[in-house]
Amino acid sequence: MIDVAACDVEGNGAAFSSNGKGDVAVSAPGIGIRSAFPGGGYKLWTGTSMSTPFVTGTAALLVEKHPNWNKDLMEARLQSTTSALKSVPVGTVDGTLGFGSGMLSIWKALAPDYVPPTPTANQPDPPTAIRPR
């Protein structure tokens, strides 16, 4: 499981998003996100339930590109390619703590130039080359 916080598309942490525990890995847009509306049409929605699909979709694309990666490599890639948040709500502990490493950057996460970290004893060896399937 990868914990996700919400921010706006400009990288400002959302006041309603859970924060302060430090369990969040990344933030993703979750304010005014266009999505399907029951009964037809679309509506703008706000919430971390709007943020999570951005991270899930990016993770799914990474699994397609790198089927040998484990959860730790996936999370490391997502976190190491974020963009810094511009601001976080007043009262957030220790700067961006609670909003993860920053705002998800899908294009950076999917860039082909990433070299996975050296594996630990509990991780399988990463693939020797990163190439699309």
Digitized pLDDT (tens) for each residue of the chain, 133 residues in all:
888 999 998 889 898 887 656 678 899 999 999 999 889 999 999 999 999 999 999 999 999 998 998 989 999 999 999 988 888 776 555 555 578 888 999 989 998 865 655 555 554 444 444 444 4
Residue 8, domain extent: 4-107
Domain harbouring 65, CATH code: 3.40.50.200
**Selection from 95, 96, 73, 105 nearest residue 5 by Cα:** 96
Domain-embedded: residue 113: no
User: Considering the domain boundaries, does residue 85 fall inside one?
Assistant: yes
Residue 9 sits at φ, ψ, to 5 deg, of -70, -15
Question: Other C-beta atoms within 10 Å of 5: how many?
Answer: 28
115: which residues sit within 8 A by CB, 6+ positions away?
A: 130
113 backbone dihedrals φ, ψ, rounded to 5°? -90, 10
Count: domains in the chain: 1
Q: Is residue 117 part of a domain?
A: no
